[in-house]
Chain A
Amino acid sequence: MYWTDHGTWSPFDEFRSLQREMNRLFDGYDGGTSLSRYPALNVWGNGENVVVTAELPGMDAADIDINVVNNQLTIKGERKADTPAEGAVCHRCERGTGSFVRTVRLPFAVEGDKVSAKYDKGVLTVTLPRHEASKAKRIEIKTS
């Protein structure tokens, strides 16, 4: 998707990801099997952590479900419809409601039980610590 996993590279994976991208390009013509692109995600990373942010206004933290399996992050949720006042008539309704699921592959495996998430001002921030085994190790070269 975003990163090439050199460790497990296979030409078939490349084909599959190309196919996914093509499906996405023709979204709506594939019978609805393509992956969802909502919510849009920004991903930040350094040697220790990956930080994923998403704009999810108007939700309750309890309605957001975050799951991590190896290096797959899944964000699930539902934005419930609510009328600001009883008996109010909607003239213009642009804000969508309903449930969504988004799965992304992270650049490396993460410690699933140390993942933390914060929901503030309608923005979800998920911090995922990199798995110890996947961290880069500096190798000293000994000179004789």
Chain B
Amino acid sequence: MALAPLTFRRATAIAVVVLLVLALLPAGWCVYARPVGAILDDAVSPVVYPLRVMGLHLRQTVSSPESSEADMALIDARLREQDNIIANQIGRIQELEDELHELRGQKQRLGGDSYNLARANVIGQSTDPVSTTLKLDKGSRDGLAVGQPVLYRASVVGRIIDVQSRVSTFELITRPGRVISAVITPRDVKGDWSALDRAPCQFRATRRERLVYDEADGSLPIHVKDFARLQDKDWPASVQHWIIGEVIDVKTSVDAPLRQRVVIEPLVRLRHLSAVSIVMPKQEADEPHAGGTP
């Protein structure tokens, strides 16, 4: 029996059917796209990375415009601005000192012999507007593996969900709907805060890059600027007790007066990250494996 000639219309219809099947494949079978996507990510990264860095720098500049020197009033405003900058810098130095202290504590907990930190640049994001993933310029040949936590300074920002040989993808902790356990600790506690014996709270990520917990015990002394520290068995032991954000709002629940609603926000705008660190067990870092996605 002779086959009907393949016209453009028929080819389109076949393509639609094939695409529908591909789109509805079970999750375990959806492994065909990432290797090709990784090649694409790798190919566009020479343009994406500088554009992203320049764009973020420009955005920062536009959001805090410098004053004109022509007008005395503006000069006055500029002087005040300088004063504010100095005050901010003093505050920043304090923050950095706190962060240094935090990092030293975490390094001690990690144990210098067990883990390595690998630095990676963020070379782009998922092109889907509702996605919360970022792409890194390191992959399996650099020792990265699925599930490894991603850090920025002293805070956990996400976890790797896909690894190719030269690029990888990580998902932010603020993916809407994600539930993550954390304990709230006072910001000024420098020593062993675990002595506070706080129960972990089940925070749920919202669409505004925040994490919310509605059922906190009303008697707990939770304050704005307190830290939320990861304490979740679904996350690797290496990042337990790392900071995931700070409290930005605490309110007594309207429906249950004995409960508090706690809102935490990451310490940085996660979608604007340009470089991150990945915690890798030492043997993985020393012996990079060549495998792709499991």
Q: Do A and B come from one complex?
A: no
* Residue ranges of B at the interface with A (Cβ–Cβ < 8 Å): none
Chain A: residues with CB nearer than 8 A to chain B? Answer: none
